[in-house]
Amino acid sequence: MTDAADADVKYRVSNPAYAERVRASFGRQAFMGFIGAEIAEVAPGAVEIRLPYRAELAQQHGFFHGGIVGTIADNACGYASFSLADAASSVLTVEYKLNLMAPAAGDLLIARGRVLRPGRTLVVAQADVFAVREGREKQVATALATLMLMAGMADEPHDQSTPGNKSLGMDGTP
């Protein structure tokens, strides 16, 4: 992962409490808890997510399922981007492309996300995903994502039933 001191020079941190904010937001993602993913490292513009192997996460050949690989790649890009957002903003994935390069065979998946270009409205991020087997990492996927900075959108659960809230509708509009 990028050294935090190097990342501070490369990217402007808008929120000094970014690491705590990233960890708290990640902790609210029920799906990440359900699959057993953990956020291991946070630096400005970079995160690392780890996911231990379980048979429930595998496809028919026993490898991590491609959907699981894509999920942690998307989250790594998202939280790398979120680490640079100000305290009154959130992020949402607009699109991502995932290249599966090898079967995800191992005891652990590691997704390392990093921001490539922080913009005012859109952020471009990349994640590389590695399977760890017998202590050795093998890259199994890479993802490129575009994320939207949502100014004024608090990073908290939104109650869809409360009139006047700033929740997004199913079509992505307030």
168 part of a folded domain: no
The fraction of the chain above a pLDDT of 70, given in percent, is 84
- pLDDT band (50, 70, 90) for residue 155: confident
Between 5 and 115, whose confidence is greater? 115
DSSP string, 146-168: EEEEEET--SS---TTSTT----
Give the domain range for residue 110: 4-151
Instruction: Round to whole Å and give the CA distance between 153 and 167.
Output: 8
User: Which of the 8 DSSP states describes residue 5?
Assistant: H
- Can you read off the two tokens belonging to residue 60? 């028919």
Q: Give the number of domains in the chain.
A: 1
Cα 14 to Cα 8, 45, 82, 158, distances in angstroms? 11, 11, 10, 23
Question: Residue 73: helix, strand or coil by DSSP?
Answer: helix
Average confidence (pLDDT) over 90-99: 97
* CA angle (147, 148, 153) in 5-degree steps: 130
Rounded to a whole number, what is the largest CA-CA distance in the chain?
53
What's the confidence (pLDDT) of residue 169?
52
- pLDDT band (50, 70, 90) for residue 174: low
- Can you read off the two tokens belonging to residue 132? 């760890």
Average confidence (pLDDT) over 150-164: 70
pLDDT of 6 over the 80 cut? no
pLDDT of 170 over the 90 cut? no
31 part of a folded domain: yes
The neighbour count for residue 65, using CB atoms within 10 Å, is 15
157 part of a folded domain: no
CATH number at residue 110: 3.10.129.10
- pLDDT band (50, 70, 90) for residue 11: confident
What average pLDDT does the chain have?
Answer: 88
Instruction: Round to whole Å and give the CA distance between 94 and 123.
Output: 10
Average confidence (pLDDT) over 93-99: 97
37 part of a folded domain: yes
40 part of a folded domain: yes
161 part of a folded domain: no
Average confidence (pLDDT) over 43-67: 97
156 part of a folded domain: no
- Can you read off the two tokens belonging to residue 81? 């981007």
158 part of a folded domain: no
pLDDT of 20 over the 80 cut? yes
DSSP string, 21-56: HHHHHHHT-HHHHHHT-EEEEEETTEEEEEEE--GG
